[in-house]
Structure 1
Amino acid sequence: MTTGADLLGLSPVMPVVVLDDAADAVPTARALLAGGIGVIELTLRTPAALASIERIAAEVPEIVIGAGTVTAPEHAKQAADAGAKFLVTPGCTDAVLDAAFDTGLPFLPGASTVSEAMRLAERGLTALKFFPAEASGGVAYLKSIGGPLPGLKFCPTGGITVKTAPDYLALSNVGCIGGSWLTPKDALAAKDFGKIEAFAAEASKL
């Protein structure tokens, strides 16, 4: 796997995971894998994030572990050093973009406007994250920009549910979607990894 486009084909749903405890990392990854999901976007939103990526990379090598919420240049290198196999940004500045390129890892840069998407395309990036999806116009927006931007594919994330997922996946310019519903806070707090596996199994069939 060497490109962002490859990332879009790993699973119909890319779980967007927030972990407060690195001890939950391996069981969460194994539950997702058992449910048929072979990729994780683990967000850098908590102090446990980098340690969680390290543990998954070392102990669950069958799953493709990526780092999400890369919002500063140093995050890119930290994530790569922890063992992340790809990066995801919610938006993009030149500094974050350069840092992501410097890691040599594939990445999905975030865009929510036509101008942002065109700028990223100028840098050779054709697989993008569309965030925040629902708040930025959702299915209707993505459908409307498919005509003028036919060479771009998106992973929409933000506010998508298991019910709205099929509407996104039906679009020709959507490769996969990002979903946080696969690893809900209550299931993680209760260490209910069976529930996570069940959500993953449902999502893998979308």
Structure 2
Amino acid sequence: MSPPLTPPHTTGESTHPWLSQGVLPVVVVNNPAQALAIAEGLLQGGIEQIEITLRTPAAIPAIRDIARQFPSMRVSAGTVLTPDQFEQAADAGASVFISPGLTETLAAHAKSKRYRWVPGVATASEMMRALELGFELLKFFPAMAAGGPKALAGIAAPLPVAKLVPTGGVSLQNIAEWRAIPAVQAVGGTWLTAGLEDETDVVDVVKRRAAQALAAWRGQVLV
């Protein structure tokens, strides 16, 4: 008999409250100092959660610095591809671990260590497999390339247990479309912290973007 799609306990149960604000900034950092400025701007703009992608050598030091300097910030590690990266990010202070896809190795490691893991999915089959393994909070990635809001609405409809965080092509302009899908718990986006290289006041720029993003998620308009 196949495992049920509604397991009695899933990692999603402990992850949902963590991802509570609707907007998850996805950040690629080139130096820890920049990461601290970004985190400060997000907090001032009302966002208390951040994903630092493990794409650069500065990522782990950035996670460590943010966790130490801003204890109210809920820090997640993104682009987790190996069990070793789980451990490095956890030691640095990450609370949630996010991957672009799902593998049996990562699923087994996350469950054995009781890590709050958000695997990536792009199809109904991948979502069903994730649910069978006990993961109900999933990253829909790459969101726009995989068909956008219309595709996700259709895929998620017969899988009511699945909770999704679309990432990849999400923007201030299309948040409302994603928010309208019942399965969507939050949106992940790089636009909040992109193009900061030439900004003289990173904190202020990120603060304004964060406030705009939260307002868009809530269906409000800032004036």
TM-score (norm 2): 0.87
SS of 1:140's equivalent?
helix
Cross-structure match for 1:182 = 192
Partners of 1:129 and 1:26 lie apart in 2 by: 25
Mapping of residues 1-206 of structure 1, within 5 Å = 3-8=14-19, 10-184=20-194, 186-191=195-200, 192-205=202-215, 206=217
Unaligned runs of 5+ in 2: 1-11, 218-223
1:111 Cα offset (Å): 0.6
**Structure 1 residue runs without a partner (length 5+):** none
Task: Say if 2:124 and 2:156, in contact at 8 Å, map to a contact too.
Answer: no
Partner secondary structure for residue 3 of structure 1:
helix
**How many Å separate the matches in 2 of 1:99 and 1:26?**
30
Q: Count residues with an aligned counterpart.
A: 204
Distance 2:18 2:100 in 1: 16
Deviation of the 1:6 alpha carbon: 2.2
Deviation of 1:3 (Å): 1.6
Distance 2:190 2:110 in 1: 23
Whose Rg is larger? 2
For residues 188 and 162 of structure 1, the distance between their equivalents in structure 2, rounded to whole angstroms, comes to 20
User: Secondary structure of the equivalent of 1:6?
Assistant: coil
Deviation at 1:11, TM superposition (A): 1.3
Cα distance between partner residues in 1 of 2:77 and 2:140: 16
CA distance in structure 1 between the aligned counterparts of 2:155 and 2:17, rounded to whole angstroms: 22
Change (3 A) 1:116 1:105: same
8 A contact 2:18–2:74 mirrored in 1 = no
Q: Relative to structure 2, which stretch is displaced further, 77-86 or 95-104?
A: 95-104
Given that residues 24 and 188 in structure 1 are in contact (C-alpha distance below 8 angstroms), is that contact kept between their aligned partners in structure 2? no
